[in-house]
Amino acid sequence: MADADVLVAGGGPVGLAAAIEARHAGLSVIVLEPRTGPIDKACGEGLMPGAVRALARLGVEPEGRPFAGIRYAGPTCSVAHRFTLGPGLGVRRTALHDALAKRAAEVGVVVELGRVTQVKSDHSGVTVAAASDRTLPGAAGPLLRAQWLLACDGLHSDVRRTLGLARSSQGVRRYGLRQHFRVEPWSEFVEVHWTRHAEIYVTPVAEDEVGVAVLGGRGLDYARTIAEAPPVRERLAGAEQASALRGAGPLLQRTGRRTAGRILLVGDAAGYVDALTGEGIQLGLAQAGAAVRAIVANRPDQYEREWTGVTRDYRLLTSMLVAAATRPALRHHVVPLAVRLPRVYGAIVDRLAGAGPLHHRA
């Protein structure tokens, strides 16, 4: 007899969202997560309007600070666009995780402490070994059985590696760093400042706090990057640090496919291009919904098709922007081009906000 209909590897936001989706579909769920308490991560922390709506549909309404849209800023010019779908929401990653964890508990999701170390799939289900800090060295850990496994274990997915689904990631390796500062947000937008070598994201997350994330190549220096953007440097001068500096990367992760028998990769575990367009949570929520629909239909191939459709614009647009960002000859043209083409810039921002594919917009 199976321990659950669905096992979820990874109890971050996407894993918990997938678990809630599965419970809404009437499935029993066990989430395996090796960490306790609200889980933090280096990210931009700006939820797009589409993500806010998707979370509300799951019964999740985290506390945060609304923002009106996205502003791109360079050394000499800037352009801003207000979302047509309503505001986004700046939310501390820990607050988002806490809200999802509470909702998961309300709908009957079982969370167990452990990390998936071994996976075996057959025609009727999946068996996993789950180890924790209490597992003896060299031991496989207790075995759990389910009809399906959703691998939501993040950028450096153990399940993806164990299944041999990871592909070599060719291209420039980029990384992210993030810290919070106790200062009143000075803009109603998420600001993206383009410096010579990196991008700085300033996201309002509370009435008296902003999150500042930096994206760039290997050897990324947080303080030096902030110093290269005078508007940000001056606003943060003397501000109290409200969190420790955290990092993530390399960001580019590729997969050969997103399914292996009755195992589905969801969120960052399914592959990731870059955080440059800031829609990671929104994409993860969409993938979680697609994965559960495929499970209910008993059609893992359906998930592969939906995943391709859900992520197509993100992969295309983000790859193009990263290509420009990593080429000095093109990088300094990004913001001026957005200024000269405000309607195009606005259509792109609204697409990222959840307004639908680019080809549906003028």
Ordered domains of the chain (ranges, CATH) = 4-169+251-360 (3.50.50.60)
- 203-239 tens-digit pLDDT: 999 999 999 999 999 999 999 999 999 999 999 999 9
Q: How long is the chain? A: 362
CB 93 within 8 A of CB 214: no
- 196-209 tens-digit pLDDT: 999 999 999 999 99
Mean pLDDT of the residues in the chain: 92
pLDDT score for 136 = 41
pTM: 0.92
Closest CA to 32 of 151, 203, 184, 127: 151
- 127-182 tens-digit pLDDT: 999 887 555 445 556 789 999 999 999 999 999 999 999 888 777 899 999 999 99
pLDDT score for 141 = 64
pLDDT score for 310 = 92
Task: Report the amino acid identity of residue 152.
Answer: C
DSSP 115: E
CB 43 within 8 A of CB 213: yes
- Is residue 24's pLDDT more than 50? yes
Distance CA 48, CA 223 (A): 27
Q: What 3-state class would DSSP assign to 312?
A: helix
What would the mean pLDDT of 237-262 be, rounded to a whole number? 94
**The two three-digit tokens of residue 302, written as one number:** 């359906």
pLDDT score for 130 = 86
pLDDT score for 137 = 47
**The two three-digit tokens of residue 142, written as one number:** 């207790």
Question: Sorting pLDDT into bands at 50, 70 and 90, what band is 355?
Answer: low
Q: What 3-state class would DSSP assign to 211?
A: strand
- 259-284 tens-digit pLDDT: 999 999 999 999 999 998 888 899 99
Closest CA to 80 of 190, 173, 231: 190
CA distances from 225 to 73, 196, 221 (A): 14, 9, 6
**The two three-digit tokens of residue 57, written as one number:** 């549909």
pLDDT score for 295 = 97
What would the mean pLDDT of 304-321 be, rounded to a whole number? 92
Distance, C-alpha 127 to centroid of its chain = 27
- 41-97 tens-digit pLDDT: 888 899 999 999 999 999 999 999 999 999 999 999 999 999 999 999 999 999 999
pLDDT score for 359 = 39
pLDDT score for 133 = 54
- Is residue 326's pLDDT more than 50? yes
Task: Report the amino acid identity of residue 21.
Answer: E
Beta strand residue intervals within 183-332, DSSP E? 189-194, 198-206, 209-217, 240-241, 246-248, 254-255, 259-260, 263-265
